[in-house]
């Protein structure tokens, strides 16, 4: 694209932009580029080098002007394209319904209202949730209201200047996130809108519905029923943080309904704030994100810490640990996932259902299959993401190691950090009745599945081209050993494998029940390596994990 063509595209974009802030941002870059300012030209080229594409269940990216950013033009095109996809695929005489939710990030409310107006403008029935709410409430509402689709405006745990557009489908999809071929068909409709129409000419309508609070009340009731407080909940002292997100109000209502004592809260992080002022990244997996919660827990003499990410679809749990810095340790997603998996297996055994199964993403601990086998349940390993996990046949429970847990698939077909928190509180309260702690439950888990350990090596990149280059190198010249563990088999999932659809994933089976998986993140500019080992004891498993971790780091270093 020549500089002149670039300026033509940029001016056409800004002419239809309804947001004065992003229009002004783009005007400044256009003026700079027209004056041959090199930095302005580069900035325009980066913004107009393509479009944000549908990835993990929709759009996600940095806020700003241009098709490579999240903004009102892009959202308008997405909302219109989604509406036209639904209209084209609807049965004769049926008017599709779309329910729309939003969290507390910058512009989430604006993007949600734009979507409601534009979807209504296409003649569909649009329902806007009554206020900012967690993602699981939107996922619940799609099924509860019998909607044909749902949109959640959120970037979940991404950096503060990001936002996103997550899409769910009702009907036969049962309120799950979109998967192929629907995602490609929606993307094609969006592209047609972007190529052929101006956003400021798209029809809008104020004839959309504001959902009644009864939708939220129904979610509260269904989630409180996941684990009503047993007697052991009395006197439980625990800490909760919302990480500046939208989880607290809904969580508090559920705790009161279920009968749990309210927590000591991290007040600095309790209420929605899209700037996320106390954390570098609003992700409880990131170093330092839970430091304020740990400090609060030390002062309160708490038994555990529970954290939600900003849209409350993820859950982090921490326990006292004298060996950990500051005396507190966050459980890994696999530890929490296996604890909840064992809970689900026992419930399923007590109330048998034909074909019941446990599921997890293929990068999560394979020990869940051991739990399933021991309790006579089916097991499914899926591609990463709950759009796949939630579709596992007969699922009664699913998880992924990135702090995502699905404990009530009969009501929510997505990860839900609030219902998972209630399930954890139920486990803790039941353990307290016999004088046990969450640490004791972890020890009992080891008796059930053996001494397993999991870890991750994650590399954040500034240049996205680095990731396909590294994946290509690993495909062209696979390693023969990692960390001294011989590679026995390599599965390249690029063209699918067994029942798994294609995915950009490399899975290495190493000696001694050791596994390494490499994949790009679906939501962040990262390359992720997932490590799983089994040992003769806890210390042996930890030692094997460190060997594998060191080897994984060397593998990346050698290929960089």
The predicted-structure confidence for 288-302, as pLDDT tens digits, reads as follows 999 999 999 999 999
The predicted-structure confidence for 228-242, as pLDDT tens digits, reads as follows 999 999 999 999 999
- Read off the pLDDT band of 520 (50, 70, 90): very high
Percent of the chain with pLDDT over 70: 99
- Read off the pLDDT band of 559 (50, 70, 90): confident
Give me the pLDDT at residue 496, please. Answer: 82
Q: Pick the catalytic residue: 108, 115, 156, 419?
A: 156
Assess if residue 280 is contained within a domain. Answer: yes
Average pLDDT, stretch 124-134?
Answer: 98
Q: For the packed helices 247-258 and 214-224, what is the interaxial angle rounded to 10 degrees?
A: 60
Average pLDDT, stretch 389-413?
Answer: 97
Whether residues 432 and 345 share a domain: the answer is yes
Give me the pLDDT at residue 205, please. Answer: 98
- Quote the number of domains for the chain: 5
Domain final residue, candidates 193, 209, 225:
209
> Residue 93 burial (CB < 10 Å; 0-12/13-18/19+)?
exposed
Residue 528: pLDDT above 70?
yes
Helix (H) or strand (E) holding 516: strand 514-520
Whether residues 366 and 383 share a domain: the answer is yes
Q: Which of 258, 226, 242 is nearest to 140 (CA)?
A: 226
Whether residues 248 and 263 share a domain: the answer is yes
Assess if residue 55 is contained within a domain. Answer: no
Distance CA 522, CA 540 (A): 32
Whether residues 299 and 227 share a domain: the answer is yes
Give me the pLDDT at residue 410, please. Answer: 94
The predicted-structure confidence for 407-438, as pLDDT tens digits, reads as follows 999 999 999 999 999 999 999 999 999 999 99
Assess if residue 269 is contained within a domain. Answer: yes
The predicted-structure confidence for 301-337, as pLDDT tens digits, reads as follows 999 999 999 999 999 999 999 999 999 999 999 999 9
Domain final residue, candidates 141, 175, 209:
209
Q: Which of 381, 374, 327 is nearest to 348 (CA)?
A: 374
Tokens linked to 90: 């609807």
Whether residues 415 and 463 share a domain: the answer is no
Whether residues 110 and 187 share a domain: the answer is yes
| 156 is annotated as an active-site residue | yes
The predicted-structure confidence for 67-119, as pLDDT tens digits, reads as follows 999 999 999 999 999 999 999 999 999 999 999 999 999 999 999 999 999 99
Assess if residue 59 is contained within a domain. Answer: no
Whether residues 131 and 193 share a domain: the answer is yes
Peptide bond into 213 cis (omega under 30): no
Domain final residue, candidates 276, 302, 325:
325
Whether residues 428 and 455 share a domain: the answer is no
Give the structural domain span for 33.
1-49
- Read off the pLDDT band of 522 (50, 70, 90): confident
- Read off the pLDDT band of 500 (50, 70, 90): confident
Assess if residue 313 is contained within a domain. Answer: yes
**Coarse DSSP helix, strand, coil percentages of the chain, rounded to the nearest 5 percent:** 40, 20, 35
Whether residues 87 and 191 share a domain: the answer is yes
Residue 54: pLDDT above 90?
no
The predicted-structure confidence for 23-33, as pLDDT tens digits, reads as follows 999 999 999 99
Q: Which residues of 162-186 are buried (b: 16+ CB within 10 A; e: fewer)?
A: bbbbbbbbbeebebbbbbeebbeeb
The predicted-structure confidence for 150-181, as pLDDT tens digits, reads as follows 999 999 999 999 999 999 999 999 999 999 89
Assess if residue 65 is contained within a domain. Answer: no
Residue 145: pLDDT above 70?
yes
Distance CA 230, CA 512 (A): 42
- Read off the pLDDT band of 134 (50, 70, 90): very high
Whether residues 98 and 198 share a domain: the answer is yes
Assess if residue 477 is contained within a domain. Answer: yes
Give me the pLDDT at residue 55, please. Answer: 60
List Cα–Cα distances, 289 to 76, 132, 310, in angstroms: 33, 23, 12
Whether residues 30 and 78 share a domain: the answer is no
The predicted-structure confidence for 10-23, as pLDDT tens digits, reads as follows 999 999 999 999 99
Chain-centre distance for alpha carbon 373:
28
The predicted-structure confidence for 447-497, as pLDDT tens digits, reads as follows 999 999 999 998 888 888 899 999 999 999 999 999 999 999 999 999 888
Supply the mean pLDDT for the chain.
95
Give me the pLDDT at residue 57, please. Answer: 62
User: Is the separation of the CB atoms in 337 and 399 below 8 Å?
Assistant: yes
Give me the pLDDT at residue 426, please. Answer: 98
Contacts 24+ apart (CB under 8 A), 343-352: 343/397, 343/407, 343/423, 343/426, 343/427, 344/396, 344/397, 344/407, 345/371, 345/372, 345/374, 345/375, 345/377, 345/397, 346/375, 347/396, 348/375, 348/377, 348/396, 348/397, 349/375, 349/376
- Read off the pLDDT band of 56 (50, 70, 90): low
Percent of the chain with pLDDT over 90: 92
Assess if residue 241 is contained within a domain. Answer: yes
- The CATH number of the domain holding residue 80 is 3.40.120.10
Whether residues 358 and 309 share a domain: the answer is no
């Amino acid at each position: 694209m020549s500089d002149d063509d670039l300026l033509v595209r940029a001016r056409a974009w800004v002419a239809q932009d309804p947001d004065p802030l992003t229009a002004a941002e783009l005007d400044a870059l256009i003026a700079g580029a027209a004056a041959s300012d090199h930095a302005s030209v580069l900035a325009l080229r980066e913004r107009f080098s393509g479009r944000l594409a549908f990835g993990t269940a929709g759009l996600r990216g940095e806020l700003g002007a241009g098709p490579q950013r999240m903004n009102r033009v892009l959202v308008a095109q997405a909302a219109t394209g989604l509406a036209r996809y639904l209209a084209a695929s609807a049965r004769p005489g049926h008017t599709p319904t779309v329910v729309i939710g939003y969290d507390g990030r910058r512009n989430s409310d604006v993007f949600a209202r734009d979507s409601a107006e534009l979807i209504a403008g296409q003649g569909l029935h649009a329902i806007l949730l009554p206020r900012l709410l967690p993602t699981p409430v939107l996922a619940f509402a799609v099924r509860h209201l019998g909607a044909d689709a749902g949109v959640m405006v959120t970037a979940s745990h991404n950096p503060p200047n990001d936002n996103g557009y997550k899409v769910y489908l009702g009907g036969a999809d049962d309120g799950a996130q979109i998967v192929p071929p629907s995602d490609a068909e929606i993307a094609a409709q969006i592209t047609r809108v972007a190529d052929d129409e101006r956003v400021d000419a798209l029809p809008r309508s104020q004839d959309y519905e504001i959902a009644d609070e009864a939708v939220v009340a129904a979610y509260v009731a269904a989630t409180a029923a996941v684990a009503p407080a047993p007697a052991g909940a009395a006197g439980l002292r625990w800490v909760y943080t919302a990480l500046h997100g939208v989880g607290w109000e809904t969580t508090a209502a559920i705790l009161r309904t279920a009968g749990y004592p309210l927590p000591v809260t991290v007040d600095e992080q309790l209420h929605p704030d899209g700037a996320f002022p106390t954390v570098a990244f609003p992700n409880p997996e990131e170093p330092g994100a839970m430091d304020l919660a740990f400090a609060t827990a030390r002062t309160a003499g708490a038994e555990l810490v529970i954290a939600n990410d900003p849209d409350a679809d993820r859950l982090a749990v921490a326990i006292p640990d004298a060996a950990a810095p500051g005396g507190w340790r966050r459980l890994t997603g696999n530890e929490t996932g296996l604890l909840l998996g064992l809970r689900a297996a026992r419930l399923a055994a007590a109330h048998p259902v034909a074909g019941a199964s446990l599921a997890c993403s293929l990068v999560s601990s394979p020990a869940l299959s051991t739990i399933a086998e021991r309790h006579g349940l089916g097991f499914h390993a899926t591609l990463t993401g709950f759009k796949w996990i939630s579709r596992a046949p007969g699922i009664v429970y699913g998880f992924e190691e990135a702090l995502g847990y699905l404990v009530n698939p009969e009501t929510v077909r997505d990860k839900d950090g609030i219902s998972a928190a209630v399930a954890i509180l139920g486990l803790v309260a039941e353990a307290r009745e016999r004088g046990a702690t969450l640490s004791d439950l972890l020890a009992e888990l080891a008796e059930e599945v053996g001494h397993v350990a999991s870890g991750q090596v994650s590399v954040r990149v500034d240049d996205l081209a680095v990731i396909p280059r590294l994946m290509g190198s690993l495909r062209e010249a696979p390693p023969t050993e990692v960390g001294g563990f011989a590679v026995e088999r390599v599965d390249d999932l690029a063209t699918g494998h067994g029942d798994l659809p294609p995915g950009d994933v490399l899975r290495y089976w190493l000696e001694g029940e050791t596994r390494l998986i490499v994949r790009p993140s679906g939501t962040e500019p990262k390359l992720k390596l997932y490590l799983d080992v089994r040992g003769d004891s806890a210390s042996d498993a930890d030692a094997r994990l460190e060997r594998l971790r060191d080897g994984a780091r060397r593998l990346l270093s050698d290929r960089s």
